[in-house]
Amino acid sequence: MQPTDAVPGTAAWYAAFAEQAAGSSPTYAAWSRAISRDAEVLARVDGLPRDRRQPNLVLAAARASGAPDGPWEVLRPWLLDAWPRVAAVARSRTTQTNEAGRCAVLLPALTRVAGAGRPVALVEVGASAGLCLYPDRYAYAYTADDGTTARLGDPGAPVVLPCRVTGGAPPPRVALPDVVARVGIDLHPLDVGDPADLAWLEALVWPEHDERRARLAAAAGVVAADPPTLVAGDLLDRLDDVLDLLPAGATPVVLHSAVLAYLPVDRRAAVAAAMAGARERRGVRWLSNEGAAVLPHVAARLPAGTDVGHRFVVALDGVPVGLAGQHGESYEPLPG
Ligand SMILES: C[S@@+](CC[C@H](N)C(=O)[O-])C[C@H]1O[C@@H](n2cnc3c(N)ncnc32)[C@H](O)[C@@H]1O
């Protein structure tokens, strides 16, 4: 599974990924840069099907297979030796990073939807293991540029999500939404109760991101204690069946984050059309958290001159409401 916009040659792909990872994971930046210049390793990677050569997938497959986190000089001989095992993992798994932290950037819009005191029924499309289906079970610690803070949720919750708020005030201290249904759709739903699936989710967290690894373990505990309904299949093919499962009397919310980049462009447009239809027929609210290029008609509604950078655009019913750090680490509320 790779973002469908990415079609460079393998060396260029790894070089670009090194740039992207540089500020976040020196280990991945160094490995990826070295691979981009290493003909022998590139030949191995090119032996994989095109959609399995994605740097994030191959590096996670290496770590899931026991790669030593360390300098490239140590990794290289290990990788060449262990390649058949690494390739088998890359062929059998897909990029399914599940980040509970994204709930911190979805919450402001979600509390708006739930504001009337009506419960919400959540459907997450591209749910992975469903960690983003529990926004009511986590606690939140927002901190604004000027030092203002807002803590939402039970301070004793097993997961506290820190989020830096830029260019605006932290969200108001309101009650968390009353979630009465949690249903996910994924091509390959992961089960946090399955040690192999959980190990794969851990391998997808980049080497230096210890805080995220700890959060994954804690959020997995929340999910395992009260598992969601996870339906296998394509998000568009299964959406209507899943909406039929929702209880009456709750506002249905379909949400997705970091998912549509994996769909061909025409399918992304079909998602937007499906959401408009679901809103009309069933009163579904649509909450998206995706790259600006992924939903161009949503990005076109950003205020003029908005500098999105590498952030995602959070939108409610197709209208941008905020800009979000990719793992939910920051949030900039938009006017309106
Ligand atoms: C990067 S993960 C994001 C997971 C989760 N939304 C989050 O934010 O933590 C993308 C997920 O989308 C799923 N996915 C990609 N294309 C899909 C499709 N056409 N239908 C259903 N799920 C899909 C993948 O299997 C993967 O689990």
- Which residue CA neighbors atom 2 of ligand 1 most closely? 96
* pLDDT at residue 200, rounded to an integer: 98
The predicted-structure confidence for 129-181, as pLDDT tens digits, reads as follows: 999 999 999 999 999 999 999 999 998 999 999 999 999 999 999 999 999 99
Position 292 pLDDT exceeds 60: yes
Substitution candidate for ligand 1 out of 92, 95, 187 with most atoms within 8 A of CB: 187
pTM: 0.94
- Which residue CA neighbors atom 18 of ligand 1 most closely? 234
The predicted-structure confidence for 294-323, as pLDDT tens digits, reads as follows: 999 999 999 999 999 989 999 999 999 999
Residues with CB under 6 A from ligand 1: 1, 94-99, 102, 125-128, 131-132, 185-188, 234-235, 257-259, 262-263
184: CA distance to ligand 1 center in Å?
A: 10
- Which residue CA neighbors atom 14 of ligand 1 most closely? 126
The predicted-structure confidence for 182-209, as pLDDT tens digits, reads as follows: 999 999 999 999 999 999 999 999 999 9
Position 6 pLDDT exceeds 90: no
Over residues 245-273, the mean pLDDT reads 96
Counting atoms of ligand 1 from 1, which one is nearest the CA of 267?
19
6: CA distance to ligand 1 center in Å?
A: 16
The predicted-structure confidence for 67-90, as pLDDT tens digits, reads as follows: 998 999 999 999 999 999 999 999
* pLDDT at residue 1, rounded to an integer: 45
Q: Where residue 57 falls among pLDDT bands split at 50, 70, 90?
A: very high
As a three-state string, the secondary structure of the chain is CCCCCCCCCHHHHHHHHHHHHCCCCHHHHHHHHHHHCCHHHHHHHHCCCHHHCCHHHHHHHHHHCCCCCCCHHHHHHHHHHHHHHHHHHHHHCCCCCCCHHHHHHHHHHHHHHHHHCCCEEEEEECCCCCHHHCCCCCEEEEEECCCCEEEECCCCCCCEEEEEECCCCCCCCCCCCCEEEEEEEECCCCCCCCHHHHHHHHHCCCCCCHHHHHHHHHHHHHHHHCCCEEEECCHHHHHHHHHHCCCCCCEEEEEEECCHHHCCHHHHHHHHHHHHHHHHHHCCEEEEEEECCCCHHHHCCCCCCCCCCCCEEEEECCEEEEEECCCCCEEEECCC
* pLDDT at residue 115, rounded to an integer: 80
Substitution candidate for ligand 1 out of 186, 256, 294 with most atoms within 8 A of CB: 186
